Structure 1
Amino acid sequence: MPQIDKPKIVLMVQSANTLFCYYNISPITLKEFTDKYGEGSLQNSKAALKVYSVDNGVEKELQTIFIDPFADNWYIHLDKGDIDVFVKLGRYLENNTFVEFAVSNIVTTPRLGESEDRRVYYIDVSEQQIPTKDNNEKREDKQGAFMKKGYVALVLHSHIPFIRHPEKEDALEERWLFEAMSECYIPLIGVYDKLIDEHIDFKITMSITPTLMAMLQDPYLNNKYIVYLKKSIELSEKEIVRNKNNKQLSKLAEFYNERFNNIYSIYKKYDYNLMNAFKKFDKLGYLEIITCSATHGLLPLLSVNPETVKAQLAIGIQYYMDIIGHEPKGIWLPECAYAYSLDSVLKEFGIRYFISENKAIVNASQRPKYGTYAPISTSNGICAFGRDMESSYQVWSSFNGYPGDYNYREFYRDIGYELPMDYIAPYIDKKGIRIDTGIKYYRVTGNTENKDYYNREMAMKKAKEHGEHFANSRHNQINTVSRNMDEVPIIVSPYDTELFGHWWFEGPNFIYEFIKKSSEQWTSYELTTPGTYLEEHPFVQCSRPCPSSWGENSDYSVWVNPSNDWIYRDLHSCGGKMIRLANTYKEPDNLEKRALNQAARELLLAESSDWSFIIKNNTTVQYAAQRINTHIERFNKLYEEITNESIDEKNLCIIEDLDNIFPNIDYKLYRSIN
């Protein structure tokens, strides 16, 4: 399958005002240019980008940008949003003639502000009826009686990228999973079980990404987690002895010992597989588990190859069904990143709703009548539930959010960094790198290095106060908004699950207190899930969500910027190659099929949005870049071996063992979309 060496330009949206493009002009193209326009024509001409909008098939030139002739990418700044845009790449001759080399794909930029279109249409998402302008009588019949004034939906997004490294003796990154299991997932399971034991009826939503599901069930990782947890217990026992003459520290050491043993008991109760617990809660109706794309790829930035977006969704949804046992009602789009192109593919896979950033709703068109207090529906019946900012700030805000309370545990003081190396060495990285052990003896205290000892009783008192305050705030919020609505309002509060327990140690206790308080009769709201809400209130305003994400500035700039934009040339190239493989190999033999499926796995793993996020935030940059490059290299090697009919089975076996996610993957999902 020969590659055609021709100029190419790819255009991507970063924000409403900024586009990113990358391009290539081959030496062959430049020679043809010189041959046609004469010797010296390159030196005497100027490289340029011509930017056009398209409206109802009519092209309009917006600007011409003269670019560095040695650059292979460029950022384009626009004066307005909500337009269809494409770019031409070429050179201006001395006589001002533009010689075109390549034309980009068309992209649609997000809306900059609220829509002026205030028309209101409703769609019955249960029956997928045509939107109608006024259906109030029918809507009331459908909704029926409801005793409370509104709903609150707590949505927890549970995700860790695929970090399985059997080739390493002690992979630091695997601890990301182990810490989340000990600090977040198992404590939450304990909270859910406690609420059930206390006969408290509740509903909560969790997305559990396919990568996390795979790791939670992986025998290798679970065996390593048992070793990790037993070492935590052992260290806490040593800490009890070490601190026997310090009353406060001795009490804290005993607390950690009891905590680690309780974590182990819960883990053992569910047969060393946390998905057993989550499936139980789902079956009992307390938990609504929603899905995500296969490896958390940021879909709008992959949409240059629509087949790769479809494969991310198809593989993720199928894996969900394989594990959970039924179809998902909703999806957490990775990074809440929405684009118009997702509507049809979400519909194809039977997704009823997705969680979105506030801007997706507020800037939607037509303008949503009730902002984020009610879902909106695309014209094909896919509903968007927008993030409520008031409840988000109460938890997320670095200035006045609950986690910053002085009585809560200080995250950045861990004995792994503070105790003598000869003592702590068996419980940190084997290469002697100091890391967190999970035993932290100090509280936030304030903006000072002189921290006070952590007081668990006081912290629990604060968690109770904050849980009750959060419940009261939602009660008052529902009371206020319901007065001006002829629909039942819903407050959607989405968070990263890992906030609760990892960054905010007392977070699971806060959730327990909030849910318990919410079950009391005085509250104006009822806890629900988005799926349940749509079943009970299927008439939804029809509106077009605005492309957005829940990242900084509510756009895609965290995942495409000068620090990480280099990844997309390779990702898109490999995506195109994967499509060609799927189109070409219709009846492969067994070895070819294995190689094709593994190539798909490598592409998926390279596409994870986590890598570009890590690079942007300058944390474990080397690891993130290495992961991208490793999966790209493995993919390209497999591609060459498949197309040259020279598959190295021994090497394939090694890669299959390392990157063993999605055992039932089908490479044919990458075949071209007609």
Structure 2
Amino acid sequence: MAADGVGSFALVLHTHLPFVLGHGRWPHGSDWLMEVAAGCYLPLLDTIGEAAASGVSPRITIDVSPVLAGQLAAPAFRSEFEEYLRARISSARENRQEFAAANQPELAHLAEGWEGFYRDRLQQFERLNGDLVGALRALADQGHVTLITCAATHGYLPLLSREESIALQLRVAVAAHRRHFGRAPDGIWLPECAYRPRYEWTPPVGPHKGGGRVRRRGIEEFMADAGLKFFITDVHLMRGGSPLSAYRDYYPALQQLSGPQPPSYRPDRTPYRPYLVASRGGHGTATAFVRDPDSTLQVWSRDRGYPGDGSYLEFHKKHFPGGLRYWRVTDAKVDLGGKQLYEPARAQERVQAHAGHFVDLLRGVLTANPEGPHAVVCSPYDTELFGHWWFEGPRWLAEVFARLPQARIAPVDCVTYLETYPPDTTITLLEGSWGEGGDHRVWLNPHTEWTWERIYGAEDEFWTLARQAGTYATEPARRVASQLARELLLMQASDWQFLITTWAARDYAEARIAEHHATFTRLAQALRRLLAGGAMPPAEEEFLAACEAQDFLFPDILSHVAEACRVPAA
């Protein structure tokens, strides 16, 4: 951070997909992971490497969820991804021949471009020896990115009913991060930016709904126990007022959700500095970086932001066979039949113009800020926006970083900023998330209440079993308990409620919740049988082995279960 600069820009990328490897392929299984790896993760690795080579280290803070890191590191991903890339190359080649035969030279040229794109991705993947996790670790070792973590399976922490479950999500996350990246994380992306302070809580669903209240710890207290120093929060949780909507433009069903009015606005709090967060009566603090509303909306919004520009590649219209995209957005109000052909040169012109506009926006925010050169614009996004949803996103990022030095804006990671400017103000945060309405309504509503009833029942059963000494006494019991813990964590993933509420993949999400719950129930019966002195029948041994092979994450999970059992009461 230069002393003569106007301030700092902290780009934070949340890199996460649910556990889909080995759970179907298309349209909502592992093909989702393959699409994002090809369209987003590999191009972003190129963008970061090229920026660093040009002399501008981007210093991005990137969280990689443990459930995603586990998938990317799996041999099954490497083999399936190579197969996927070769199939896309073949589809592009076949499309090119089809268009040429139909005397459609513009489409044939675009198909040739896709063939080159996927061939480049395959060559890049081979250069990396199929190791995307290792490539990220190398960039972190070189100081170009700072890697942080997320909850183990992206569990929606404020709605989990047991303190032990929150502790397990965070303990497993820290251990997985250390295993994949060689060091413990300093910070965390709280799933859905969801936060709850310390207070007396009652279950929102189930047989104990509205029953006796239980004192619960604030999320920052669990973070402190896990050694996690900072997180990202949304601006309305810091100062009240109407929330931003990160996903409304992409999922129209969110506009139908209703909820309470937003809390009163606190204009005396600025989002351009971090704050220490503590709950009244709590033990432990963490630092919160605050999402900047101006820069965020400019990039997030498909209707009002850059991704909705008519020159950019249309996400939804695809050509079959192959599923490749050949059309541009054209206009948000034009249906898919009216989309015009994509023009790469025209899109690149808009990339440059939008990068210039964004840097001017950052400079305007920073120069007008009373914090002076200490001010930081924290811009958090889902990583998958760049390249997956918004095809030109990685190129746009490259143009932004190339322009920052001339604007006297320093790119900075969150760790470096805190080392330079430690927070000196302690605040309490409101409860909520970065979802529609700023509260929990996306994840808890009449469409998803049944999922929480199953999760809460499984939590109670699991933590009862986890406290029995016999759970750790024999190898069969340890294996069953370990898999039981994995199924509980996978059931808790917030992705399932999001996909149900938005109708993005409702059937798939409902099936996954039901599947993990059924597996949990059968394994719990097996563990109770072992604790009573029984043996594992061959059919149950075969079932356990199949579960271990399919849901293979977190090899050391049982040690963290034992530690989570010791979490102190609020």
Q: Does the pair score TM above 0.5?
A: yes
- Tell me whether 1:547 sits opposite 2:431 in the alignment: yes
CA distance, structure 2, for counterparts of residue 653 and residue 147 of structure 1: 61
Q: 2:311–2:329: 8 Å Cα contact kept in structure 1?
A: yes
Equivalences for 1:613-624 in 2 at 5 Å? 613-624=498-509
Residues 1:285 and 2:172 aligned together: no
Q: In the aligned structure 1, how far is the partner of 2:383 from the partner of 2:233? A: 16
1:476 paired residue number? 364
Tell me which of 510, 513, 518 is aligned to 1:625.
510
* Offset at residue 649 of structure 1 (A): 1.4
CA distance in 2, matches of 1:186, 1:315: 26
Amino acid across the alignment from 1:400 = R
Q: Distance in 2 between matches of 1:525 and 1:411?
A: 32
Contact 1:564 1:612 in 2 (8 A): yes
State the match for 2:393 in structure 1. Answer: 507
1:539 and 1:392 map into 2 onto residues whose CA distance is 23
Q: Is residue 372 of structure 1 aligned with residue 228 of structure 2?
A: no
Runs of 4 or more consecutive aligned structure 1 residues displaced over 3 Å after TM superposition: 168-172, 363-370
- CA pair 239-513 structure 1, distance change in 2 beyond 3 A: same
- In 2, the alpha carbon distance for the partners of 1:234 and 1:577 equals 50
Q: How far apart are the structure 1 equivalents of 2:359 and 2:224? A: 35
2:495 match: 610
Q: What is the distance in 1 between the residues matched to 2:232 and 2:355?
A: 23
1:641-660 map, 5 Å: 641-645=526-530, 646-647=535-536, 648-660=540-552
Shift, 1:487, TM fit: 7.1
1:195 and 2:51 are equivalent in the alignment? yes
Give the CA deviation at 1:534: 0.3
Relative to structure 1, is the Cα distance of residues 172 and 564 closer, same or farther in structure 2, using a 3 angstrom cutoff?
A: closer
Alpha carbons of 1:487 and 1:307: their partners in 2 closer, same or farther (altered >3 Å)?
farther
CA deviation vs aligned residue, 1:184-241 (integer Å, no higher than 9, x gap): 1011011112212322232111111011101111111221111111010111122222
Cα separation, 1, equivalents of 2:25 and 2:294: 45
How many residues are aligned here?
A: 506
User: CA 1:214–1:145 in 2, change beyond 3 Å: closer, same or farther?
Assistant: closer
Which position in structure 1 is the counterpart of 2:38? 182
- Residue 401 of structure 1 aligns with an amino acid whose one-letter code is G
The change in CA–CA distance for 1:633 and 1:672 in structure 2 (over 3 A counts) is farther
Q: Distance in 2 between matches of 1:365 and 1:541?
A: 20
In the alignment, which of 370, 373, 382 is matched to residue 286 of structure 2? 382
Written as runs of structure 1 = structure 2, the 5 A alignment for 1:209-228 is 209-228=65-84
Aligned to 1:126: none
- 1:327 matches 2:178: no
Encode CA deviations 1:466-495: one digit per residue, 9 max, x unaligned: 1111011101110111xx236711111111
The question of whether the paired residues in 2 share the 8 Å contact of 1:298 and 1:335 is answered with: yes
CA deviation after TM superposition for structure 1 residue 411, in Å: 1.3
1:580-607 Cα deviation digits (max 9, x unpaired): 1121035421111000000000000000
More moved, 197-206 vs 256-265: 197-206
Q: Which has the higher strand share?
A: 1
User: How many Å separate the matches in 2 of 1:624 and 1:585?
Assistant: 35
Change (3 A) 1:171 1:463: closer
Distance in 1, matches of 2:401 and 2:236, equals 27
Of 600, 611, 614, the residue aligned with 2:485 is 600
1:668: which partner in 2? Answer: 562
Matched, 1:415 2:303: no
In the other structure, the counterpart of 2:349 is: 461
Q: Which amino acid aligns with 1:344?
A: E
CA distance in 2, matches of 1:161, 1:664: 20
Q: 1:537 to 1:526 in 2, by over 3 A?
A: same
Q: Distance in 1 between matches of 2:145 and 2:371?
A: 28
**Any conservation in 2 of the 1:195–1:516 contact (CA below 8 Å)?**
yes
The one-letter amino acid of 1:156's match is L
Equivalent residue, structure 2, for 1:35: none
1:247 offset after TM fit, Å? 2.6
Q: 2:14 & 2:380 partners in 1: Cα distance?
A: 7
Return the alpha-carbon distance in structure 2 between the equivalents of residues 664 and 641 of structure 1.
20
8 Å CA contact 1:165–1:171 kept in 2: the answer is: no
8 A Cα contact 1:154 1:529, kept in partner: yes
Matched residue SS, 1:156: strand
Q: Do the aligned partners of 1:368 and 1:541 also contact (CA within 8 Å) in 2? A: no
Q: Quick check: which has more Rg, 1 or 2?
A: 1
**Pairing 1:233–2:89 present:** yes
Identity of counterpart residues, as a percentage? 31
Counterpart of 1:223 in structure 2: which amino acid? S
2:308 to 404, 425, 445: 404
- How many angstroms apart in 2 are the aligned matches of 1:169 and 1:334? 25
Q: TM-score, normalised by structure 2?
A: 0.85
Structure 1 counterpart SS, 2:223: helix
Does structure 1 conserve the Cα–Cα contact (< 8 Å) formed by 2:484 and 2:523?
Answer: yes
Give 1:146 deviation, angstroms.
2.4
Task: Say if 1:366 and 1:452 are closer, same or farther in 2 by CA, change over 3 A.
Answer: closer
Given that 2:28 and 2:508 are in contact with CA atoms closer than 8 Å, whether structure 1 keeps it comes out as no
Deviates more, 1:593-602 or 1:618-627: 618-627
Amino acid at match of 1:393: L
1:516 aligns with 2:367: no
Which consecutive unaligned segments of at least 5 residues does structure 2 have?
198-217, 241-262, 279-283
Tell me which residue corresponds to 2:4.
147
- TM-score, normalised by the number of residues in structure 1: 0.73
What is the RMSD of the two structures over their aligned residues, measured on CA atoms? 2.0
State the match for 1:156 in structure 2.
Answer: 13
* 1:350 matched to 2:235: no
Residue 532 of structure 1 aligns with which residue?
A: 416
Flag the 1:635–1:533 CA change in 2: closer, same or farther, 3 A.
same
Unpaired segments ≥5 residues, structure 1: 1-143, 417-423, 428-436
Letter in 2 for 1:152: F
**Alignment partners' CA distance in 2, 1:353 and 1:170:** 37
Conserved? CA contact 2:352–2:396, under 8 Å? yes
Q: Deviations over 1:629-657 (max 9, x none)?
A: 11111111111111122432121111111
Match of 2:468 among 580, 584, 592: 584
AA aligned to 1:371 is T
Which whole-Å deviations, capped at 9, do the CAs of 1:299-355 have from their partners, x for residues lacking one? 0000x2100000011001110011111111110000000111112110111111000
